Chain A
Amino acid sequence: MTNLQFIWFILIGVLFSGFFFLDGFDFGVGMLIKSFAKTDAERDVVIRTIGPHWDGNEVWLITAGGAMFASFPMWYATLFSGYYLVLFLILAALIFRGVSFEFRANMETARWRTFWEWAATIASLGAAFLFGMLFTSMIAGMPIDKNGDMTAHFFDYVNLFSLVGGIAVTVLCLVHGLNFVRLKTDGELRDRALTWNKVLYPVLFAGEVLFAVLLFFSTDFFDKKPMSTTGIVVALVIFTVLAYWGVLKNHEWLSFVGSGLSLISVVVLIFNGLFPRVMIANNPANSLLIKNSSNSPYTLHLMTILTFSILPIVLIYFIWSYWVFYKRLSSPKQEA
């Protein structure tokens, strides 16, 4: 494995971390539209918290996909063709979500507004769940042949481990979204998000513990890298505890950063366990390795220069855009 290959493995991890941190709260907020927000006006506020951002957040996913293609095309080809129907469902969810905000705002009848609200809610829930399921089943190992083609069956994708993984990621996104709502709103919505999180965090703890146990039995992570895997799992739990503590003590920033770091820990856990592989095959001889899945040194070198010159500029205006919309939105007044 060359240094460049290593850098790109890390970079893909960084891009997915960015995606889970950002789209994590965006999925979470999306799930709230038809459950947490009670009135039309409240839904306006809830959607407005992510209004200027969701699109940019999703670009992290597109960039991660593009970067994977540009650095590890064998990984990209195996993952994307192997997870065909899962990715198709994710795409459908992202499409419905993407158009739902604009379409909802423009519908004339209440029925159609409700339709797009449900679309946004279910699609956000579905996307978070499916991403969780995809990555969980991926680390458990998949049937991959010599050419790198995956021919998996239903229960390779959907099993106890991947379901728990999917649910855990969903709940994590949900609390992350609530933490974001607490930062961005004021009044009734801000208070309600606190109440919700007080209930949801114990559920999340249970989910994380169950996930860790299944991780032990379903993957080779604890065999191959006992120290680092244990360390990251512990970090994941600590971040969640910190976030919960933030919820209880009313430190909003702490809980938001805590839930964000929890999501990033999940990504780190996955990438740490994968290394030095990128796809784990049931037959270890067929696993895709960093060293033989990448592009040529020329392309990697080129991409490294370009990425390190463009990404900092992107980060500057990306963060600036959040700063511009920093203001809290007040909850709608209760109608008498």
Chain B
Amino acid sequence: MINLGLDILGLARFQFGMTTVFHFFFVPFSIGLAFVVAVMETMYAIKGDKDYKRMAQFWGKMFLYSFAVGVVTGIIQEFQFGMNWSEYSRFMGDIFGAPLAIEALAAFFLESTFIGMWMFTWDRFNKWVHTLFIWLVMFGSSLSALWILAANSFMQNPLGYIINAKTGHVQMVSFAKVVGNPQLWNEFPHVIFGAFVTAAFVIAGCSAWRLLKRDHVTFYRKSLNVALVIGLIFSLGSIASGDLQTRYLINNQPMKFAAMEGLYKDSTNKGEWAVVSGFDTKNHKTTWSVDVPYVLNLLSYHKMSGTVKGMNPINQEMHAKYDKKFGKDMNYYVPTNTLFWSFRIMAGAGALFALLAVVGLIMNRKRSQAIMRQRWFLYILGLCLWLPFVVNTAGWFVTEFGRYPWIVYGLLTIADAVSPNVSVASLLTTNIVYFLMFATMGFIMIVLCHRTLKAGPDSDNTDGYASSDTDLDPYSKGAFNHD
């Protein structure tokens, strides 16, 4: 799947994949939690029900852990382009730098300033102003997703540029086209909805584990309800936006689409869709598959008829198109197994989330005790709290592996983008250290969330985060006073 040979390219790719995947555990979790917490606090502001305030504070703790890890791993992401991919930075600077700088300027300042305000001022501002702070954090973090995806969309589907004749680098000619890239507007809603689903099902899962222990039943049932309502709306949203995005690929990145559906040859008019398949990637053949007729056409065109191009013909077309510039030795096949299975994980999980949300909401009606009796369902919910992270990773696998062999689609190959002056030893060292750091941070995150959960919503400061109205200093053990 990933080329692990010890060369600069392989190591730099591995590092990019590793840091991105790890960073993207926390990004959607944070964006989503900011949203859910903001909803909870808004409900408190409207209804005045203290339970919602406790909920916002309690789940807000997990948000703070996640935010801290997300921020620090994000810095690696930004520095990495210059460190590992200097040729890419030179080639793409005119386009790529702008969204990155705007992201910092417009989004990061907003997030980081107002998260500080939100953490430390529970007792200082009235509830509406305080609620506004968390909405601003949520707005800032979504904005940051928008800008980084604008940069990513250019890599997937370059628009609004020319190639500078003298330098050979890309040059922006229309910012409107860069920002108006259809790829972006297909990708952005999907990422944001996915983030909301992530937070919703983590909260639902955590609540389910506590309900199994009959701990703070009212509190966790209320949390579960908020989570599942959000989970239902946005898992449906994810499915819809995912469908839009996938269909956009048919013309835009046909190779990616064909690999997601595991099609080596053109499909027939009957539109057989492979539920599962085995591939011989060396000889570019499907060895076996379980097919359902017409589904492929329904998915691709929302009709019964039509055909989809397969990878083998697409490969030939790409050779015809690019051989002049990039040579005959290019391999345009993308990692089929990775894309095929990642796509199925995503689609399957999307449906599962929607189903779980519906069933959960029915069982969790106000007067019903069904949810407490159907323990099997709580177990399933509890286990599903890990699933969003797998799904988010699968989504990026499809997007990024499907871009192979390009770093900028049709313009620059991954192999030409890497820093020529960085040594294998340096890259190996950083890979190992990053890996250890990520493992440590991930482990501590899980321990902290677990402990927070065990301590419960009424815990006074066991983790430094007070729940009373008077002492609300996240970093203190409550040992000092204000003047």
| Residues on the A chain within 8 Å of B430, using CB | 84-85, 88
In the assembled complex, B83 has its CB within 8 A of some CB on chain A: yes
| Residues on the A chain within 8 Å of B475, using CB | 44, 47-48, 51, 101, 105
Do B120 and A325 touch across chains, with their CB atoms under 8 A apart? yes
Binds A, one of B218-226, B308-316, B420-428: B420-428
Q: What's the Cα separation between A7 and B351 when bound, in Å?
A: 52
| Residues on the B chain within 8 Å of A302, using CB | 98, 172, 175
Q: Could you say which of B65, B90, B419 contacts A102, with CB atoms under 8 Å apart?
A: B65
List residues 416-463 of chain B with CB under 8 A from any CB of chain A: 419-422, 426, 429-430, 433, 437, 441, 444, 448, 451-452, 463
Do B72 and A77 touch across chains, with their CB atoms under 8 A apart? no
Do A332 and B101 touch across chains, with their CB atoms under 8 A apart? no
Q: Could you say which of A45, A56, A65, A311 contacts B112, with CB atoms under 8 Å apart?
A: A56
Render A85-111 as a binary contact track against B, CB cut-off 8 A, 1 for contact: 101100110110011011101101000
Binds B, one of A155-163, A198-206, A314-322: A314-322
Q: What's the Cα separation between A26 and B149 when bound, in Å?
A: 31
| Residues on the A chain within 8 Å of B94, using CB | 73, 295-296, 299
Do A66 and B83 touch across chains, with their CB atoms under 8 A apart? no
| Residues on the A chain within 8 Å of B235, using CB | none
In the assembled complex, A212 has its CB within 8 A of some CB on chain B: no
Do B73 and A298 touch across chains, with their CB atoms under 8 A apart? no
| Residues on the A chain within 8 Å of B279, using CB | none
Binds B, one of A146-154, A234-242, A267-275, A277-285: A146-154
In the assembled complex, B68 has its CB within 8 A of some CB on chain A: yes
Given A151-B421, A296-B94, CB of A55 within 8 Å of CB of B71: yes
In the assembled complex, A133 has its CB within 8 A of some CB on chain B: no
- Chain B interface main SS type: helix
| CB closest residue in chain A, given B463 | A106
In the assembled complex, A327 has its CB within 8 A of some CB on chain B: yes
Interface size class of B (residues with CB under 8 A): 35 or more
In the assembled complex, A20 has its CB within 8 A of some CB on chain B: no
Given A41-B480, A77-B90, CB of A98 within 8 Å of CB of B72: yes
| CB closest residue in chain A, given B76 | A91
In the assembled complex, B481 has its CB within 8 A of some CB on chain A: yes
| Residues on the B chain within 8 Å of A318, using CB | 109, 113
Q: What's the Cα separation between A319 and B25 when bound, in Å?
A: 32
List residues 82-103 of chain B with CB under 8 A from any CB of chain A: 82-84, 86-87, 89-90, 92-98, 100-103
In the assembled complex, A17 has its CB within 8 A of some CB on chain B: no
Do B477 and A330 touch across chains, with their CB atoms under 8 A apart? no
Q: What's the Cα separation between A82 and B95 when bound, in Å?
A: 22
In the assembled complex, A80 has its CB within 8 A of some CB on chain B: yes
| Residues on the B chain within 8 Å of A218, using CB | none
Do A53 and B116 touch across chains, with their CB atoms under 8 A apart? yes
| Residues on the A chain within 8 Å of B451, using CB | 106, 108
Q: What's the Cα separation between A305 and B198 when bound, in Å?
A: 36
Do A81 and B93 touch across chains, with their CB atoms under 8 A apart? no
In the assembled complex, A69 has its CB within 8 A of some CB on chain B: yes
| Residues on the B chain within 8 Å of A295, using CB | 93-94, 97
Q: What's the Cα separation between A298 and B89 when bound, in Å?
A: 18
Q: Could you say which of A45, A70, A77 contacts B101, with CB atoms under 8 Å apart?
A: A70
| CB closest residue in chain B, given A53 | B116
Do A330 and B483 touch across chains, with their CB atoms under 8 A apart? yes
In the assembled complex, B115 has its CB within 8 A of some CB on chain A: yes
Given A52-B116, A299-B97, A325-B120, CB of A59 within 8 Å of CB of B480: no
Q: How many A-B residue pairs have CB under 8 A?
A: 253
| Residues on the B chain within 8 Å of A95, using CB | 72-73, 75-76, 437, 441
| Residues on the A chain within 8 Å of B390, using CB | none
Render A36-65 as a binary contact track against B, CB cut-off 8 A, 1 for contact: 000011001101100111011011011101
Do B68 and A99 touch across chains, with their CB atoms under 8 A apart? yes
Q: What's the Cα separation between A51 and B82 when bound, in Å?
A: 30
Render A170-210 as a binary contact track against B, CB cut-off 8 A, 1 for contact: 00000000000000001000000000000000000000000
Given A69-B81, A77-B87, A332-B479, CB of A103 within 8 Å of CB of B448: yes
Do B120 and A74 touch across chains, with their CB atoms under 8 A apart? no
| CB closest residue in chain A, given B91 | A73
Q: Could you say which of B68, B89, B173, B482 contacts A69, with CB atoms under 8 Å apart?
A: B89
| CB closest residue in chain B, given A95 | B72
| Residues on the B chain within 8 Å of A79, using CB | 82
Q: What's the Cα separation between A331 and B433 when bound, in Å?
A: 38
In the assembled complex, A219 has its CB within 8 A of some CB on chain B: no
Q: What's the Cα separation between A78 and B87 when bound, in Å?
A: 9
In the assembled complex, B275 has its CB within 8 A of some CB on chain A: no
Given A74-B93, A105-B464, CB of A52 within 8 Å of CB of B173: no
| CB closest residue in chain A, given B448 | A106
Do B108 and A148 touch across chains, with their CB atoms under 8 A apart? no
**B154 → chain A closest CB, angstroms:** 13
Q: What's the Cα separation between A251 and B72 when bound, in Å?
A: 36
**B468 → chain A closest CB, angstroms:** 16
| CB closest residue in chain B, given A71 | B97
Q: Could you say which of B68, B108, B113, B426 contacts A98, with CB atoms under 8 Å apart?
A: B68
Do A330 and B104 touch across chains, with their CB atoms under 8 A apart? no
Do B105 and A310 touch across chains, with their CB atoms under 8 A apart? yes
Do B483 and A328 touch across chains, with their CB atoms under 8 A apart? yes
19 further interface pairs, Cβ-Cβ under 8 Å (given A76-B93, A95-B76) = A44-B477, A56-B109, A63-B101, A65-B82, A66-B100, A66-B101, A73-B94, A77-B90, A84-B426, A88-B430, A91-B79, A105-B474, A105-B477, A106-B448, A295-B94, A296-B164, A302-B172, A307-B101, A307-B105
A interface vs B, CB < 8 Å? Answer: 40-41, 44-45, 47-48, 51-53, 55-56, 58-59, 61-63, 65-74, 76-82, 84-85, 87-88, 91-92, 94-95, 98-99, 101-103, 105-106, 108, 147-151, 186, 295-296, 298-299, 302-303, 306-307, 310-311, 314, 317-318, 321, 324-325, 327-332
B interface vs A, CB < 8 Å? Answer: 64-65, 68-69, 71-76, 78-79, 81-84, 86-87, 89-90, 92-98, 100-106, 108-110, 112-117, 119-121, 124, 164, 171-173, 175, 419-422, 426, 429-430, 433, 437, 441, 444, 448, 451-452, 463-465, 473-477, 479-483
A-B contact pairs, 6 of them (CB 8 A): A52-B119, A63-B104, A66-B104, A80-B89, A310-B106, A324-B117
> Which 5 A-B pairs give the minimum distances between C-beta atoms?
A73-B93, A80-B82, A70-B97, A105-B464, A52-B116
